[in-house]
Amino acid sequence: MKTEDKLAWRKAVAPYETPVRWRSVWQTVNTLVPYTVLWYLMYRSLEVSYLLTLSLAILTAGFMIRSFIILHDCGHGSFFKSQMANNFLGTIVGVLTFTPYHYWRFEHAVHHATSGDLDRRLRGDIWTWTVDEYLAAPLWKRVTYRLYRSPLILFVVGPAFLFLFEYRFPLRHPEKRERRSVHITNLGLLVVAVVISSVIGFKAYLLVQLPITILGSAAGVWMFYIQHQFEGVYWERHKDWDYLDAALDGSSYYKLPRVLRWFTGNIGFHHIHHLGPRIPNYFLKKCYDKNPMFQNVKSLTLITSLGSLSLRLWDEKRRELIGWGRLKA
């Protein structure tokens, strides 16, 4: 990208990078209060029908995703001007979303710094191999990779395992703050579970919380997947990698219906988010609407995004993601 173009992108996002306190507070209220009310209604619905409980879980999971977006913005320092306020709210919401705030924040910062870089993969990202790496791997590794990239593992089993189990252990972080974040979140989860279980019973707690977490984590991982795994995505070796090119061409514009934009905190404008990660989620659409340069990108819809399910490997020769069928060909 030319230097003048880079300056233009920077100038375009700058006006939207200042959070507005009342909007952030209101988003916190209109997210966490409905989440709490729906959680209670799910508990009361256990007396009627568990099918009703599971039906309510879909809506409740939507508010869990919106809660995660608040944590996400706090992690970028874009929800409040005060980093102390961001860290405090992020830690609290982390307990509600089963996510250790500082641990996740570190992983996500690595993702932003390395997204689209073939030589710096596997930190805070979807496991993606090149064709050559796959062909050179032993059989057991290829089988493991195929299982990982299957929809059942990638969007159901994997997300549930990540949020319910993997995030309980600071396996990859020697840093004290990140490890402490995991322990604080675990303690918070334990306190919440014990208090609620003492009132309604542990079984009822699990019957309500598990479907919310499973549905919310599955939808969240799908959103993350589709933001960086699509036809025409950008990948380069480190020597040719460019941060702004990776943001614009390596992050999708997921054109969602208005109600889904609300629940996902406008994160579908992901190309803008990677250019300006300090833009609060409630300003992403405005930034898009006011700048035609952000509109001249390929968009994905709910229907067209399903095509990304077949993508499995990065073909360095063709410079595209391909599926198993193309690999055989």
**Burial state string for 13-35 with b = 16 or more CB within 10 A and e = fewer than 16:** beebeebeeeebeebbeebbeeb
Looking at residue 6, its pLDDT comes to 62
SS3 174: coil
Q: How many CB atoms lie within 10 A of CB 120?
A: 15
pLDDT digits (tens, 9 = 90+) for 220-242: 999 999 999 999 999 999 999 98
Element (H, E) at 39: helix 21-45
d(CA 200, CA 277): 41
d(CA 153, CA 156): 6
d(CA 260, CA 15): 25
Looking at residue 326, its pLDDT comes to 85
Q: Which long-range contacts (CB under 8 A, 24 or more apart) does 246-252 make?
A: 246/115, 246/116, 246/117, 246/274, 247/115, 247/271, 247/274, 247/275, 248/9, 248/274, 248/275, 248/297, 249/116, 250/115, 250/116, 250/274, 251/115, 251/227, 252/226, 252/227, 252/228, 252/298, 252/299, 252/300
Element (H, E) at 221: helix 202-228
What stretches in the chain show pLDDT beneath 70? 1-6, 172-174
pLDDT digits (tens, 9 = 90+) for 23-72: 999 999 999 999 999 999 999 999 999 999 999 999 999 999 999 999 99
**pTM for this one?**
0.94
Q: Looking at this protein, which amino acid is placed at residue 211?
A: P
d(CA 275, CA 24): 21
Count of domains forming the chain: 1
- Exposed/middle/buried for 315, CB within 10 Å: 0-12, 13-18, 19+? middle
Q: Which two tokens stand for residue 245?
A: 């090119």
Q: Which two tokens stand for residue 122?
A: 């596997």
Q: Are the C-beta atoms of 280 and 78 separated by less than 8 Å?
A: yes
Looking at residue 223, its pLDDT comes to 96
Looking at residue 225, its pLDDT comes to 96
Residue 24 lies in domain: 3-328
Looking at residue 174, its pLDDT comes to 64
Helices then strands, counting H and E runs in the chain, come out as: 17, 5
Looking at residue 5, its pLDDT comes to 61
Q: Are the C-beta atoms of 278 and 208 separated by less than 8 Å?
A: no
Looking at residue 172, its pLDDT comes to 67
d(CA 114, CA 308): 21
Q: Are the C-beta atoms of 30 and 37 separated by less than 8 Å?
A: no
Looking at residue 176, its pLDDT comes to 86
Looking at residue 297, its pLDDT comes to 81
DSSP character string of 62-107: HHHHHHHHHHHHHHTT-S-S-HHHHHHHHHHHHHHTT--HHHHHHH
